[in-house]
Structure 1
Amino acid sequence: MAEERLGVVGIVIEDSLKAGDINHILSQYGEIIIGRMGVPRVSHKERGVSVISLIVHGTNDEIGAMTGRLGNVKGVQVKSALSSR
């Protein structure tokens, strides 16, 4: 069994039309997401971006698959930091 890790994933959405794609991907990985906070575009109009932060708990493969799919969406930037054990 693969070791699970705890971590944070930051998502910056520069294209608001991609929000549906992002939410669809996140719903598919809901079992590893234990917390979510978002700052919508309307709260940060001067920058024109939305930000989502996730607290995740899963294997490297699960978290990597989710962040990989998110990072493949044009106009979306993703960074993660995971516990070492």
Structure 2
Amino acid sequence: MSTNQLEQHDMRRSGVVGISISDAVGMTTKITEILESSHGIIKNVTMFPASKERVMAVIIRATTDELGALTGRLGMVPGVRVKSVLF
């Protein structure tokens, strides 16, 4: 690892990204593609079916920049709401 990569690795924190999907049938594939492109920071993904929407909990280990990039892409998907927290 380069010095810059080591510094970024040290700045990573654990967190959770909550995703609410109102059009689960049409958007699940797009969300899966986005999550797969960020596989380096994702530790676990759990989906909870709800009555009118689906809710996903994504456990991550990321920097604030990595988290912002992921949530920004997810938030642009129609019918998707995203909330996140780093510890």
TM-score of Structure 1 vs Structure 2, range by shorter chain: 0.7 to 0.9
The alignment's C-alpha RMSD in Å is 1.0
Q: Following superposition of structure 1 onto structure 2, how do residues 4-23 of structure 1 map, counting pairs within 5 Å?
A: 4-16=12-24, 17-23=26-32
In structure 2, how many angstroms separate the alpha carbons of the residues matched to 1:8 and 1:20? 20
Structure of greater Rg: 2
Corresponding residue to 1:55 among 50, 54, 59: 59
Q: Which amino acid aligns with 1:66?
A: L
What do the CA deviations read for 1:5-33 (whole angstroms, capped 9, x no partner)? Answer: 11011000001211110000000001101
Q: How many residues matched?
A: 78
The answer for unaligned runs of 5 or more in structure 1 is: none
Which of structure 1's runs of 4+ aligned residues deviate more than 2 A? none
TM-score after normalising by structure 2: 0.84
| Displacement of 1:48 | 1.5
| Displacement of 1:73 | 0.6
Identity of aligned residues (%): 42
TM-score after normalising by structure 1: 0.86
| Displacement of 1:50 | 0.6
Higher RCO (CA-CA < 8 Å; seq separation 6+): 1
| Displacement of 1:55 | 0.7
